[in-house]
């Protein structure tokens, strides 16, 4: 788990299915300075993976990360978000089914909210035959997942290339 809190960094939180794959995509982006996978958007304080997987906590598997807006713009991160999952399926990504796998943008400022809404509208144009069901909602408490989930695919020695914009 990597954390950065410098004044020049911004925070983003996205949910798009299993957090391992989502994290792997954003770790590749130049300007992303630290990622943490975890749980957000639910009601239970400090949930465990097992509790979230039960579907009863209301949490989504999510990734929270810090990025340098001088190196990568939030709009570019949103563009990547729309391409790495199917935002038209409710509570499902590929074989992962349940509310914990929902598609969501958890915004941290009014500017992020406006950018997310505009980005969703643009993405809807690309999905004109199916409606995007992604939630755009204020960020709430983010609970880091257990250590073994952090940078999980890197631990498996999966190849890692930088994302290009």
Catalytically annotated residues: 18
Going by C-beta distance under 8 Å and a sequence separation of 6 or more, which residues neighbour residue 72?
Answer: 29, 30, 31, 32, 165
Closest CA to 41 of 86, 85, 107: 107
Distance CA 95, CA 56 (A): 19
Distance CA 49, CA 147 (A): 11
């Amino acid at each position: 788990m990597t954390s950065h809190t410098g004044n020049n960094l911004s925070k983003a939180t996205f949910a798009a299915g299993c957090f391992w794959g989502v994290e792997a995509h954003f770790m590749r982006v130049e300007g992303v300075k630290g990622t943490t996978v975890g749980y957000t958007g639910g009601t239970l304080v400090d949930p465990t993976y097992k509790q979230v997987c039960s579907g009863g906590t209301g949490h989504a598997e999510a990734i929270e990360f810090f990025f340098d807006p001088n190196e990568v713009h939030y709009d570019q991160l949103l563009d990547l978000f729309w391409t790495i999952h199917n935002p038209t399926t409710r509570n499902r990504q590929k074989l992962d089914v349940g509310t914990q796998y929902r598609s969501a943008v958890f915004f941290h400022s009014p500017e992020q909210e406006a950018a997310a809404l505009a980005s969703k509208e643009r993405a809807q144009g690309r999905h004109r035959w199916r409606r995007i069901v992604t939630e755009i909602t204020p960020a709430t408490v983010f609970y880091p997942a257990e250590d073994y989930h952090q940078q999980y695919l890197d631990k498996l020695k999966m190849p890692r290339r930088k994302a290009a914009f």
